[in-house]
Structure 1
């Protein structure tokens, strides 16, 4: 695996992960046609896409921590839904026929294997699997399966 050194400019905690704003060396063309060094700046997820440089100090890097919702927000919204998805299998053949539910759905089977998002999306793409509309699985997963552009184009 090729590694490219970069400069950490900022880090931000988001639900379930950390995002790091890094600048990596690149080259760019000038209006006069010359080539000059430049920085390419991009947000990446840690630790999946970046690793710590041994001995480097990150004390001066601007860091934004995720702030928990206020009590008023928690009171209005109620408890968070458990993360993940569960498959209600319609026969003993495995993951080929079934219904995907949120873990707290009334229709979800007790003790079912909790699927992470990527596995749930892979399962949802199978012909014999449908998404539960009672618990919101259909509303939450469908945009991820068909793309977020749907509904924004007036021709669709």
Structure 2
């Protein structure tokens, strides 16, 4: 069955049009959540920019039209992306200064940079002496992922025993 068209409403009121409503589920507390896919772009190896569908569960209040006011068509969610379609990053180590992570294709990355997949890029960024480029997607994409759920920046000397 074809997924129902839907608009995702972001917390600041912006909308992402042309979303797809795949299914709904009821949580233990009785609330309903909806699996939607929205079109986005990603940087791939080789510096290409290619479309991707991002899928996530949201509440009815985040969707237009309100899915509670009509039937929800059920359809299968999109298959996971093949490993070759993951974001690509470049770790650039200049002679002086910090190592810099760039989105592949960034004009500020040097030819001596090393390509990394997202997990390795996050590991590198978590180490002291590495920063994310603010001129490409690296800072905007990687830093929020790295700090998701953290109250403040993690420092290696921080530990539960105070040592």
Greater relative contact order, per chain length (Cα 8 Å cut-off, separation 6+)? 2
| TM tier relative to shorter chain | 0.3 to 0.5
Which structure shows the higher strand fraction?
Answer: 2
Structure-2-length-normalised TM-score: 0.38
Larger Rg: 1
Structure-1-length-normalised TM-score: 0.40
